[in-house]
Homo-oligomer: A and B are copies of this chain.
Amino acid sequence: MEELKDKNGLTEEQFLAAYRPGDYERPSVAVDTVIFTVTQTKEDNYRKLPGKELKILLIKRGGHPYLGSWALPGGFVNPDETTEQAAMRELKEETGVDNIYLEQLYTFSEPERDPRMWVMSCSYLALADSGKISVEAGDDARQAEWFTVKTCATEEIINELEDGLKKVTEYKLELICGDIILSGKVRHTILRNDRGVKNTYEITENNGIAFDHVRIIIYALERLRGKVKYTDIALNLMPEYFTLTDLQRVYEIILGKEQLKAAFRRKYSVLTEPTDKMTSDAGHRPSRLYRRKWLTE
């Protein structure tokens, strides 16, 4: 193999030594991370359990384009790192957390997605226990805030074509942080027929979210909702000790649907192991604390 010579009579070693990259145009490659966490709401009634909220981290843009809008944490990839390393590096700068659940989502490559130039975005999904995160919010240069995620109203339209199917899902996203309310709508169209599948995520409304980041957030939510049902991914959102009711609330907030207690425990308690710790000081029966169990799958 080492002895093979190309049409110019060069070995691979010689070829590489002489190689000079062409000067065709190259894209900038950014990473953008949708990092989710779950926090508790205040509850005044001493008997009731506090509610849970799903949150994502956004950074206020301090320069053009999208000056004043809010963007996902991220940045450009360096030549000596993988996209995953870049995502982790940027996340550490923003959240102070080094070790975190991170999974590649999708590479968005519409040529016009950044008005400045050709930028692809390799997006990531991250999950973290809110207790571990130290958000340096209100940094002088960049303002980072956690926004509560609400996805009200998801409308679905299905057209059965002669030779295929068209499914349109309208997602309405609302991101809330104190007085700041950002929102957007994404129309996900799936066109399936003999000639293949065409998925488009079209941004139909956008208030205050930079670039095409609404689309990335919706994509991340879809992935999270899908995976929660058949993996133990949700446990990355939990602290070390938690009750099964806590876990159930996290599932409910992700899926947007109440779960039946008995069935939920049958299905998901296998992802956990009981400890001898119990909750206390609640106005009702104490609850056993569980811990994550590492499963073979």
User: A: which residues have CB within 8 A of B?
Assistant: 1, 4-7, 10, 12, 15-16, 19, 21, 24-29, 62-68, 76-77, 79-84, 98-104, 106-107, 109-111, 115-118, 120, 122, 158, 160-161, 164-165, 167, 192-197, 236, 240, 292, 294-297
Contacts and interface: CB of A to CB of B under 8 A. Distances in A.
Nearest to A14: B64
B196 A99 contact: yes
A24 B119 CA distance: 13
B10 A64 contact: yes
Nearest to A120: B29
Closest 6 CB pairs of A and B: A99-B195, A15-B64, A26-B26, A165-B294, A83-B109, A82-B109
A41 to B, nearest CB: 26
A149 B77 CA distance: 35
Contact of A296 (B27, B101, B158): B158
A29 B27 contact: yes
Contacts of A193: 294
Contacts of A102: 196-197
Contact of A192 (B83, B161, B294): B294
